[in-house]
Structure 1
Amino acid sequence: MRRFLAAAAAAALVLTAAACGGDDEDTAAAGGKPSKIVIGYQQIPNGDLIVKHNKWLEDAFGSDTTIEWKLFDSGGSVNEAIQAGSVDIGLVGSSPASRGISSGIKYRVPWIFDVIGEAEALVVKGGVTDVKSLKGKTIATPFASTSHYSLLAALQKAGLDSKSVKVIDSEPDAILAAWKRGDIDGAYVWNPVLAKLVADGGKTLVTSAELAKEGKTTYDLGVVTDEFAEKYPDAVTTWVTQQDKAVKLIRDDPTAASEAIAAELSISAAEAKAQMDDLIFVSAAEQTGNTYLSGGLPDNLFATAEFNKEVGQITTVREESAYQDAVDATFAKSVPKE
């Protein structure tokens, strides 16, 4: 179904691409601004939802630029939309970003929304005591996501593979429904669905924070098409500046931050705060260092591609320089200093 949707979206490119700010048919507004920016977002409790809820982009760009927010279930779906030409800026996990770079999607990474810690985990129903006990069980996860990557890493560590465990592709909301019906034995997924599984009696076997300690760190990343970034670099800097503002709000006023996220996710502020605390947020100034955009992240994306090829998820890994070139710290460096 996903391949069908991608093909259909590509066929409709002539009709849909005009919606994106980077398209030739689009004319820049006064001051070099795009007349429209299409943003692919996900329901993840990080700064992107704060920016959306508070309409900071709309305020920053003014009436000359229309901001269109499109909701997606996973990074794999965002990749497909970008390939189809219907999104300018989007949120994808580090594994989908690595896959995108490996497959030649023409985009770059200017921002790290968060480092994934306890916010993604493998949760199972009663009777399963450890990862090795998953043999013969059915585990759901969104394919081509950071959760999928982490699940495969956890299985590999336990000496299992997708042949000994039935791993099925399912988006977060569908995972919750399948869990309640008893169709699956467990899932590797992220908040807010993760929290709902735990509240429904789920037992956590392993978290992404634990896997990160073993070199399998995962991130939520911002990606922008090369075409848009080259045509509207100031707009990308403005976007990154608003994301940095959200990180500062999370740190300085977590109550206001959690209230904004709660409103977007239709949960309580306390629940939003608890889910936010499972993520690690990094400011623009911190991201420009060697640990993140200028060193650690490119290395991570290349290593992720090698792992995905090792476990049969992709067929091609590009030269290491391709992953280095795809991470662009220019915009974070351009965020105005206070």
Structure 2
Amino acid sequence: MSPSPAHGPSRRLLLTGALAAASAVVTGCSSDGGGSSGGAKRLRIGYFAFPSGDLLVKNRKLLEKALPDYTISWVKFDSGASVNQAFLGKSLDIAALGSSPFARGVSGSSPIPYKVAFVLDVAGENEALIARKGSGISEVKGLKGRTIGTPFASTSHYSLLAALEQAGLKPSDVKLVDLQPQAILAAWQRGDVDAAYVWLPTLDELRASGTQLTSSKKIGAAGKPTLDLAVVSEELIARDPRAIDVWRKVEAEALRTLTSDPEGSVKAIAAELGISAADAKAQLSQGVFLTPRQVASADWLGTEGRPGKLLDYLTDTGEFLAGQKQIDAAPSEDVVRKAFYLKGLPDVLK
């Protein structure tokens, strides 16, 4: 692999390969066998196996209870790049998506037809840069000349580039390897990488035999925040805006539950991730979860006709990625603004 970060696949390649790839993902990973085809009353939802209110919605079947006449499929993804491909292949209606892959998705002459409609969480200590013990690396600048694994086009990739920049390093000063979380763990165990930037739960496995150099919480505090957003397809906005309102209501309910019922939340997250309650509690403690009021505030998503600071964060993310040559050109603020779906906010979250 080139010592500098390779550009992601072109939009043309994504378009030609997306339908087959996304269809395979939906068929192979849907929790209910993929029964999401046919008719307008369906919702195909992409999610990550990552501690959040989204997993509460899934575990407690809040959406299924709120929309009993809909066929709802939950589709598991490992990275934002795969989510973007699935939207290009028209295989998703709603999905979790990191702020960095979202900025990529709305860039270029053929932006992905989706809009950000919710904020799931803000990256904290649940995404971090870890160096292998015995590597002799104790700070970010010590990564010069070393091999680092991270999922390209992800929030971790963005944060890694920001960490390198803050430490005075260029991407060409290290060897970046595009690896999904499970592949990172395997490469780590083989000794193929010296460090990795990734999220939970893989992150905790690396911490057991590594040294944390920085985290998305620290990088965000220094001006480069990353978030897990939720996006909705433009087709769903046109076809069934009521379903979006209901989905946002149950997501807001889940955020409130994280605070009002911490023990129940831990139990649900543990069940979804197949881990102990103690591990689920530790993982949840590393995230930053907003209240529904905060989600629709001027500090984050904003309200109908008045986008919040998230507009600036996402515009800045696009500019940073363009500066790092991860995308050809940054999406303008106007383009990002048009990729917000704020109808009904804040009332729909009550």
Same fold (TM over 0.5): yes
Comparing 308-317 with 322-331, greater Cα deviation is found at: 322-331
CA distance in 2 between partners of 1:270 and 1:16 (Å): 31
Contact 2:104 2:318 in 1 (8 A): yes
Tell me the matched-pair count.
325
Residue aligned with 2:266, SS: helix
Partner of 1:228, secondary structure, is helix
Counterpart Cα distance in 2 of 1:326 and 1:16: 25
Q: Which amino acid in structure 1 is aligned with residue 90 of structure 2?
A: G
Distance change in 2, residues 1:303/1:2 (3 Å): closer
> Which of 167, 171, 176 is the matching residue for 1:158?
167
* 1:83 aligns to 2:88 (yes or no): yes
Q: Deviations over 1:35-85 (max 9, x none)?
A: 2111111111001111111111111110x2111111111011101100111
1:320 pairs, out of 324, 328, 333, with 333
So what's the TM-score if we normalise by structure 2? 0.87
What residue is the counterpart of 1:280 in the other structure? Answer: 288
Structure 1 residues 138-147 or 64-73, which shifts more?
64-73
Q: 2 CA distance for matches of 1:224 and 1:273?
A: 29
Range with greater deviation from structure 2 (224-233 or 279-288) = 279-288
Q: Give the alignment partner of residue 300 of structure 1, picking from 304, 307, 313.
A: 313
1:108-187 maps to which residues of 2 (within 5 A)? 108-126=115-133, 127-187=136-196
Match of 2:206 among 197, 207, 216: 197
Name the CA shift for 1:13/1:152 in 2 (closer, same or farther; >3 Å): closer
Deviation at 1:15, TM superposition (A): 11
* Unaligned runs of at least 5 residues, structure 1: 29-34
1:188-244 deviation digits (Å, cap 9, x = unpaired): 000111011112x21100000101111100000000011101211110011111111
Contact 1:121 1:204 in 2 (8 A): yes
Q: Which residue of 2 aligns with 1:46?
A: 52
Question: C-alpha distance in 1, partners of 2:35/2:214?
Answer: 40
Which residue in 1 is equivalent to 2:260?
252
Taking structure 1 as reference, are residues 16 and 118 closer, same or farther at Cα in structure 2, changes over 3 Å only?
Answer: closer
Report if the CA contact (8 A) 1:241-1:335 is conserved: yes
- Residue in 2 that maps onto 1:37: 43
Contact between 2:128 and 2:203, CA under 8 Å: does it hold in 1? yes
Tell me the TM-score normalised to structure 1 length.
Answer: 0.90
Alpha-carbon distance between aligned partners in 2 of 1:171 and 1:16, rounded to the nearest angstrom: 15
Question: Per-residue deviation at 1:119?
Answer: 0.7
Q: How does 1:202-221 map to 2 (within 5 A)?
A: 202-221=210-229
5+ residue gaps, structure 2 = 1-7, 27-33, 303-307
**RMSD, aligned α-carbons:** 2.3
In the superposition, relative to structure 1, how do residues 16 and 142 fare at CA in structure 2: closer, same or farther (>3 Å)? closer
Whether contact under 8 Å (2:23, 2:91) holds in the other structure is: no
How far did residue 263 of structure 1 move?
0.9
Taking a change above 3 Å as real, the CA distance of residues 268 and 12 of structure 1, as seen in their structure-2 partners, is closer
Match of 1:107 among 114, 119, 123: 114
The answer to which of 297-306 and 326-335 deviates more is 326-335
Q: What is the match of residue 31 of structure 1?
A: none
